[in-house]
Amino acid sequence: MTRATNGPVAVLGLGRMGTGLATCLLDQGIQVRVWNRSAERAAPLAERGAFAAAHPCDAVEGTTAALCTVDDGEALGAVLRGPDGVLARGPYPGVLICASTVAPEEVVEIAGDLPSVLDVGMLGNRDHARDGELRLFVGGEKRVFESVRPLLETLGKEVVHLGALGSGMRMKLLLNLLMGVEVQAMAEATELAAACGLERQQVLKTIAGSGFASPVMAFKSRRLASGRFDEPDFKLRLMAKDLMLASKQAASVGLNLPLAAAAAETHVRATEQGLGDEDCAAVVRALTPNPGSDT
């Protein structure tokens, strides 16, 4: 069996996905060094044997690969090039794997002239991350990809090299575009049905069991049925960010994507209404006159 890595791996950013990735690596007996802006998130991983670092530059010390799973481009830039960042003590000799969803051009700009950088679009949720069941879409030089393929195959059931740096982000943005539009469409259909007198639970059950429902819609229909959007699988504000990034990508290549633009507008409005840290299915609350009311 091919070894997943020849040395420790750093995981920078311990949100739901980062924590899942670190847990998966620990389960495989791989040495893991972790960092998070709020240090308390590292405690459960430290109890399992991970080294919890005070700064990103400490986390990557002695590692062969570093997975960055922070929220956005600003956070990614700070983790890499900030005063205590990965590059604060000089060039990083391992492979930097940017799994944060940012604009493709931004990951290229942040990477600069670093020789070994990949961007990875991750498809899946925290359970997939923990269980090594993600689908990973990778951009970057082929030689760099091959050097960490065993590591990536530990984390994902499907690992695809797409091409140049930025390709992974392009795939991730279009996938999130589909999810954002699908979930909003289901929320709109459900609100229309309820407003016209149909019973909400029956409508959602019918949608989830129909040929129109994707696995994501079937999954999110349970969120809409319960009206519970806490403990998010994917935060609404991150969906808003990704939809805006997808819309900007479309504009940059001269495409008009009306559905993407409309979904981005709705998600941004929902974020402004204070729903940003709830699950992305909470976009339904931006469709009603009183977004704070129960759905």
Q: What is the pLDDT of residue 4?
A: 64
CA-CA distance, 165 to 6, in Å (whole number)? 24
Q: What is the pLDDT of residue 288?
A: 78
Going from N- to C-terminal start, the domains of the chain cover 9-164, 171-286
Distances (CA, A) of 140 to 8, 41, 76, 160, 178: 22, 30, 17, 11, 24
Bridge-partner residues for 35, per DSSP? 12
Q: State residue 249's pLDDT score.
A: 93
Tell me the three state secondary structure of residue 64.
Answer: coil
pLDDT tens sequence across 215-270: 889 989 999 999 999 999 999 999 999 999 999 999 999 999 999 999 999 999 99
Residue 293 confidence (pLDDT): 46
- Give me the pLDDT at residue 3, please: 56
Residue in this structure with the two tokens 């940059």, named with its chain if needed: 252
107: CB partners within 8 A, 6+ apart: 73, 76, 98, 117, 119, 139, 165, 166, 169
Q: Which among 142, 157, 172, 220 is annotated as catalytic?
A: 172
pLDDT digits (tens, 9 = 90+) for 3-49: 566 789 999 999 999 999 999 999 999 999 999 999 999 999 999 99
The overall average pLDDT reported for the chain is 93
152 residue type, one letter: L
Answer yes or no: 172 catalytic. yes
Is residue 294 scored above 50 in pLDDT? no
Give residue-wise pLDDT tens across range 160-177.
999 999 999 999 999 999
The CATH class of the 9-164 domain is alpha beta
Tell me, what's the pLDDT at 1? 39
CATH 3.40.980.10 for domain 171-286: no
Model-level pTM?
0.89
State how far the alpha carbon of 244 is from the alpha carbons of 9, 109, 249, in Å.
32, 19, 9
